[in-house]
Structure 1
């Protein structure tokens, strides 16, 4: 199983996701850290990602040339230019065009409200994503 985790800036969210995947699923999963900057990438690799890819061009190239089972990232992956423009329209388009499941973490920062998520904590959302990945792995 191959899972990409994308994050920006300091990758706090990406680190948390990578650590949780490692803890819950273990070493059987190949985790690719997609960081919009090298700092974010290195933080996710230190958290347990197998490989790190940094920057717009590299992320777009990865998305166009690789097959993965899923990608996990903040809502910015479908709402580009929100975090200081680090998720560019080209990155967003590349992610959306991938033939995999996209797990979007609904951070309520950008006046985007996703019904049903207002009472959930981010750790609960991450747990739900991990459980869905585990269930899908049983089907493969």
Structure 2
């Protein structure tokens, strides 16, 4: 199974997701870190991603030319200007256009509120995503 994790800034959320995926699925999963900057990418690779891709042009090219089973990231990845402006219109469109499952973490930022998620800890949301991916990997096995 091939999973992309996208994050920006220091990639704290991306690192957490990758560490959890590695712990639960180890070598049964191929993880691609998509960082809007080299700092975010290198942090996600250190967390256990198989490969890292940095910057708008590289992320857009990757999303257009590669088949992934899923992509995981905060809600800001779908918004032009999301994650303090690091998500460009081209990146958000490339992600949206990917033909795969998109796991979107509804962080309480960007003035976007998703009812029903206010009191859900991020850890629980990540656990739910990893559990869903794990069930799909078991189907492939």
TM-score, normalised on structure 1? 0.97
| Corresponding residue number in structure 1 for 2:64 | 64
TM-score, normalised on structure 2? 0.96
| Structure 1: gaps (5+ residues) | none
| Corresponding residue number in structure 2 for 1:54 | 54
Where does 1:86-97 land on structure 2 (aligned, <5 Å)? 86-97=86-97
Give the match's secondary structure for 1:84: helix
Q: Distance in 2 between matches of 1:30 and 1:82?
A: 26
| Corresponding residue number in structure 2 for 1:38 | 38
Q: Which runs of 4+ in 1 moved over 4 A?
A: none
Aligned residues of 2:76 and 2:110 also touching (Cα < 8 A):
no
Question: Which has the larger share of helix?
Answer: 2
RMSD: 0.8
Alignment of 1:122 onto 2:135: no
Deviation string 1:72-106 (CA, Å, 9 cap, x unpaired) is 00101111202221111100000010000000011
Aligned residues of 2:28 and 2:137 also touching (Cα < 8 A):
no
